[in-house]
Amino acid sequence: MATSTAHDASHGHVPVMRDRMGELLRPAVEAFGDNAVIVDGTLGAGGHTEYFLEIFPSACVIGIDRDGEALRNATERLAPFADRFLPVQGRFDCLAEALATEESPIVDTAREHGLAGAFFDLGVSSMQLDQAERGFAYKVDAPLDMRMDSSKGITAADVLNTYSHGDLARVLKTYGDERFAGKIASAVLAEREKEPFTHSGRLVELLYSVIPAATRRTGGHPAKRTFQALRVEVNRELEALENVLPMVADALGIGGRAVFMSYQSHEDKLVKKAFTELTTSKTPPGLPTELPGMEAKFRAVTHGAEKASEEEIELNRRAAPVRVRAIEKISN
């Protein structure tokens, strides 16, 4: 299982289940040979991509990230592989557009042969969590921003200060599985009448006061679910995931593999649903033979969702909630 290298640590990012991700992609990458192109749709600090470029010396990687600073830092880190790496700034559901419009020999290969691999490590990156000023972490008082691309879009403060009670409660319940969504929304609306929310510390105080003590003792940090929900809403994460799943299915070449790492139940449900549909025959049940053109075009590589080992979690606490699913394209 993955061990963190000094190089990873120096970039503030330990790639989750790094070695296993390489194992899942290896058969596809080796089958594609010199035509192997992997898309890393969640480049982040570049730890996974660096590993793929090291262990697959014939493969190229297209790395996508909406965070301009992350993209610049990762591109610098990956400079030794410059001829085999193409950085693309955008939300990961820009994949289809990037493959259609980017002018690069790497993209030309992907267009001609299909992708050998598509890799997505969903959710907020370790690097963003570690940058207090970005507002993702609830353990430090910071501006309520939470945008992965800090150049555009609404902030977490905008959500708190402008959403109706119903919309705010829906966000907290749907994206955070927050039991006390209604109570929290009521408290936020009352507080913002006094003064708009700007920093996380005030929100954390409110959550401590609203969530019952018994729940706080057993349910982890009281801010965890609310901060998760705000981040998902600000960045339209589920919308991007729903959009990219069919794009990946189209872009893979025969024998190509898609690997998704989910950290929240709502992400994993979307991936599971899409993968189940792709790996299931469209022939109506009860018929004695497979109808032409109705057979499944993908097969499952993982059996259900794989989890990180105890050893992995010990090395990297952020691996604890991960759920990994992978499929392989078997026909067009």
Contact 196, 161 (CB under 8 A): yes
Same domain, yes or no: 189 and 118 = no
- What is the Cα–Cα distance from 237 to 259, expressed in whole angstroms? 17
Let me know whether 169 and 261 are in one domain: no
**Number of domains within the chain:** 2
Q: Does 132 have pLDDT greater than 80?
A: no
Residue 247 falls within a domain, yes or no?
Answer: yes
Residue 13 — very low, low, confident or very high, per pLDDT cuts 50/70/90? low
In a domain, 1, yes or no: no
Residue 171 shares a structural domain with residue 75: no
Identify any residues that bridge with 85 across adjacent strands, giving them in sequence order: 61
Question: Same domain for 116 and 244?
Answer: yes
Same domain, 256 and 228: no
pLDDT digits (tens, 9 = 90+) for 59-91: 999 999 988 888 999 999 999 999 999 999 999
Within a domain: 249: yes
Residue 6: pLDDT band by 50, 70, 90 thresholds? very low
Asked whether residue 178 falls in the same domain as residue 246, the answer is no
3-state percent helix, strand, coil for the chain, nearest multiple of 5? 55, 15, 35
- Both 231 and 143 in one domain: the answer is yes
* 196 and 183 in a common domain: yes
Residue 182 belongs to domain with CATH number: 1.10.150.170
Q: Is residue 257 part of a domain?
A: yes
pLDDT of residue 133: 55
Specify whether 294 is located in the same domain as 149. no
Question: Average pLDDT for residues 318-324, to the nearest whole number?
Answer: 93
Window from 129-133, 138-142, 195-199 with minimum mean pLDDT: 129-133
Q: Is residue 59 part of a domain?
A: yes
Summarize pLDDT for 274-304 with one digit per residue, the tens: 999 999 998 888 888 888 888 999 999 999 9
pTM of the model: 0.85
pLDDT above 70 (res 134): no
Residues 227 and 268 in one domain: no
Q: Identify the domain boundary among 235, 265, 286.
A: 235
Q: Are residues 69 and 200 in the same domain?
A: no
CA dist 148 and 155 (Å) reads 10
Share of the chain above pLDDT 70, in %: 91
* Residue 240 exposed, middle or buried by CB count within 10 Å (0-12, 13-18, 19+): buried
Domain boundary among 235, 260, 290: 235
* Interatomic CA distance for residues 271 and 1, integer angstroms: 23
* pLDDT per residue as tens digits for the range 190-201: 999 999 999 999
For 261-282, the pLDDT digits (tens) are 999 888 999 999 999 999 999 8
* Mean predicted confidence (pLDDT) in 85-99: 96
Alpha carbons 282 and 198: distance in angstroms, whole number:
51
Query: What pLDDT is recorded for position 131?
Result: 57
- Print the domain residue range for 290: 6-126+237-329
**Better pLDDT: 12 or 44:** 44
Last residue of a domain, one of 203, 235, 267: 235
Residue 108 CA to chain centroid, in angstroms? 26
Do 64 and 87 share a structural domain? yes
Q: Which CATH number fits the domain that encloses residue 62?
A: 3.40.50.150
93 CB-near residues (< 8 Å, 6+ apart): 239, 240, 241, 243, 244, 247
